[in-house]
Amino acid sequence: MTARAFISGCKSLALSGEERAFFRDADPWGLIVFGRNIESREQIRTLCDEFREAVGRADAPVLIDQEGGRVQRIRPPLCAAHPAAARYGALYAAEPESGLEAARIGAELLARELSEIGITVDCLPVLDLPVEGMTQAIGDRAYADEADAVIALGRAVIEGALAGGVLPVIKHMPGHGRATVDSHYHLPRVSADRATLEASDFRPFAALADAPLGMTGHIVFEAIDPDRPGTLSPVVIQDIIRGHIGFDGLLMTDDLSMKALSGSVGASAAAALAAGCDIALHCNGDMGEMLEVAAAAPRLEGRSADRAGRALSRLAPSGEVDMAALAEARDRLLAGAVA
């Protein structure tokens, strides 16, 4: 029997008896961890093992947002400090080949650190194109503000993550760079016409549509669906993400507990899955909300199950490397841009 079509968070450093029973019975496809779930490398590994034991699947994905810069859930001394995406973009602007190599190595370093402690999915790269004057919710998490640069750097990051034994997630589809407010707290609305969006914002996602996993953005595109945010919009998901962009990987929502979405999380999960998302993502670890999402999530089946299987099939052991030498090579490239 396949897992249910949702990913859940948990409250603390170890699973409570209630959480263990919930995961056993509800059988989410994956677990996502945050800073509240992190104390030591050994503890993280144990938490991952507890989750996989509860759902009875040794390959059950464990996810994290570990981009580098200000979005880095695991921090020193448990792992290295990693630069924000914009650092690679700055190097790429000056020396394209060095920028691509640094970004690839940086992603591999992140992935190897995560793989060592049982985490198998990293929610990066951010493929959004920031527009001047928009919210800093994206900011230096973006690699560049020009599509060709984001495409090249995004490809390097995807390759590095896979080489390091972790699955990457392209986000936030079909583009979050024009948001004037932070979707963690408010619902952004974008007024740009479709032609403009296709010529810019959508391009990185279309170029990297062969990625194994993708994440939607909670944002209204008035020229496409003025009534519903992309996560809940059949038009955005079917016509834009699946159609124009051509993404046929496993599509998950952004966190359903973000304030951009109104109504209950259960209703949002049901609407997102009905609109064409494969997986509902719920992060805050609130058991009442987790039960709502689980009730709305069917078993993965059909094309969604196929996409999930294809994604997991791209997860491969990374082999041994000299991590210190890799980090030195990346840092030397980045230092060259400063010099």
Average pLDDT, the chain: 95
C-beta atoms surrounding 242 within 10 Å: 17
Active site residue 282: no
Structure confidence by residue, pLDDT tens digits, 79-101:
999 999 999 999 999 999 999 99
Q: Which H or E run includes 264?
A: none
Structure confidence by residue, pLDDT tens digits, 200-253:
999 999 999 999 999 999 999 999 999 999 999 999 999 999 999 999 999 999
pLDDT at 70: 94
- 3-state DSSP call for residue 190? strand
Largest CA distance in the chain: 56
Q: Which H or E run includes 66?
A: strand 66-68
pLDDT at 339: 42
**Active-site position among 122, 201, 225, 254:** 254
- Please, which pLDDT band fits residue 336 given cuts at 50, 70 and 90? confident
- Please, which pLDDT band fits residue 133 given cuts at 50, 70 and 90? confident
Contacts of residue 110, defined as CB under 8 A and 6 or more positions apart, other chains included, come to 66, 68, 82, 122, 124, 160, 161, 164, 166
- Rounded to whole angstroms, how far apart are CA atoms 62 and 30? 6
Structure tokens at 298: 């069917």
Q: Dihedrals φ, ψ of 74, to 5°? A: -105, 125
Structure confidence by residue, pLDDT tens digits, 190-203:
999 999 999 999 99
Stated pTM of the model: 0.96
Count of domains in the chain? 1
The predicted model gives 3-19 an average pLDDT of: 98
Note down the domain range covering 228: 4-338
- Rounded to whole angstroms, how far apart are CA atoms 254 and 124? 12
CATH number, residue 317: 3.20.20.300
The predicted model gives 278-288 an average pLDDT of: 98
pLDDT at 127: 97
Q: Is 18 exposed, middle or buried (0-12, 13-18, 19+ CB in 10 A)?
A: exposed
- Rounded to whole angstroms, how far apart are CA atoms 135 and 114? 29
pLDDT at 337: 58
Beta sheet of 62-64, edge-to-edge order: 250-252, 213-216, 167-173, 121-122, 62-64, 28-33, 4-8, 280-282
Structure confidence by residue, pLDDT tens digits, 14-27:
999 999 999 999 99
**Amino acid (1-letter code) at residue 141:** R
- Rounded to whole angstroms, how far apart are CA atoms 140 and 162? 23
Active site residue 184: yes
**Active-site position among 145, 182, 184, 331:** 184
